[in-house]
Amino acid sequence: MSPEEAEAIERELAPPFTVVRPPQFRVPLIFNSPHSGRVYPSAFLAASRLDSLTLRRSEDAYVEELFACVTELGAPLLYAHFPRAYLDVNREPYELDPALFRDGLPHYANTQSVRVVGGLGTIARIVSESDEIYREPLLVGAALERINRLYAPYHETLRALLTEAQREFGLAVLIDCHSMPSHPIAEQGGGRPDFVLGDRFGTSCSPELTRLAASQLKALGYVVALNKPYAGGYITEHYGRPQKGRHALQIEMNRALYMDETNFAKSEGFERLRSDLLTMVQALAACVPSLAAPRAAAE
């Protein structure tokens, strides 16, 4: 990639992500939407063999809008503008697929993870479980530039928010916000539940927090599953350290609840879902102080 092309992409993705901060940080909750970005660089579109609508199928459309209410409760919201198909920050920094590149990968690249093998590394090779994104292999230098320019600053910002919350409140709770297709290609026999909560099978956050989120959603009439088929990605696994006062819970929402999955138009259910999410978040905010009590007693 030439310096001119890199500068053009940087202009298109300015800013690459946003932090919406409340007037006052009142609760130790941080909300993150890493896959809701929908600014597709023109050079990326030109390099892709897919049309723009197909590329959007990996996008968690409008998730940052559904959770925008959290700032009213005193919690910040971080969300990406760059799309997941361009760069996935819910991966290790160097989960890179050898099949995607024309030159050799650096020795520190993770080329064998399940996500890489499935074509969904830090630089994705596919969308919609089988559609190849690129017309031809990429240069490794272009991938490393994306990681340095977008991935690293995104995670620096997320870490800073968690550190700020823990310094202010004694703990930090990360809610990682996602959406899922209602009928994945690889699954047979019906659609998915309304929500899937992922806590890495009880290792990334307090079970009390997971149970409360599940019970609140069920009370609102939703079907909720735990850890299957999504137990939490890299962000949940990497930042969730309950024993150190840092909790991480992933929330996956069925897209059929709030949008038309064929044309990405918001449906009549959008406002109801947004209101119900606010109800759930209010319950989490009320519960969070109790998470610090056992740790404070131990100290």
> pLDDT tens digit string along 214-262?
999 999 999 999 999 999 999 999 999 999 999 999 999 999 999 999 9
pLDDT at 185 over 70: no
Residues of the chain with pLDDT > 70, as a percent, come to: 94
pLDDT in tens, 255-281: 999 999 999 999 999 999 999 999 999
63 within some domain? yes
CATH of the domain at 28: 3.40.630.40
Q: What is the pLDDT of residue 190?
A: 60
Q: What pLDDT is recorded for position 274? A: 98
Query: Is residue 201, in this structure, part of any structural domain at all?
Result: yes
227 lies in some domain: yes
Over the stretch 76-129, which tens digit does the pLDDT of each residue have?
999 999 999 999 999 999 999 999 999 999 999 999 999 999 999 999 999 988
Q: Measure the CA–CA gap between 283 and 212, rounded to whole angstroms.
A: 8
From the list 156, 192, 195, the residue with the least C-alpha distance to 175 is 195
**Does residue 134 sit within a domain?**
no
Confidence grade of residue 298 (pLDDT, cut at 50, 70, 90): very low
Q: How confident is the model at residue 152 (pLDDT cuts 50, 70, 90)?
A: very high
Residue 117 CB partners (closer than 8 Å, separation 6+):
none
Across the chain, mean pLDDT equals 93
Whole-number pLDDT of residue 10? 82
Asked if the model's pLDDT at residue 12 lies above 70, the reply is yes
Question: Where are any strands of DSSP class E within 164-243?
Answer: 172-180, 195-198, 224-226
DSSP class of residue 148? Answer: I
Give the N- to C-terminal CA distance of the chain in Å, as an integer: 53
CB 63 within 8 A of CB 179: yes
Inside any domain, residue 124 = no
pLDDT at 296 over 50: no
111 occurs within a structural domain: no
pLDDT tens column, 21-38: 999 999 999 999 999 999
- The torsion angles phi and psi of 251, rounded to 5 degrees, stand at -120, 120
Residue 136 lies in a domain: no
Residue 57 has pLDDT above 50, yes or no: yes
- The range of the structural domain enclosing residue 159 comes to 3-83+146-298
Residue 297 has pLDDT above 60, yes or no: no
Count of domains observed in the chain: 1
Is residue 16 over pLDDT 80?
yes
The verdict on residue 88 lying in a domain is: no
More confident residue, 188 or 207: 207
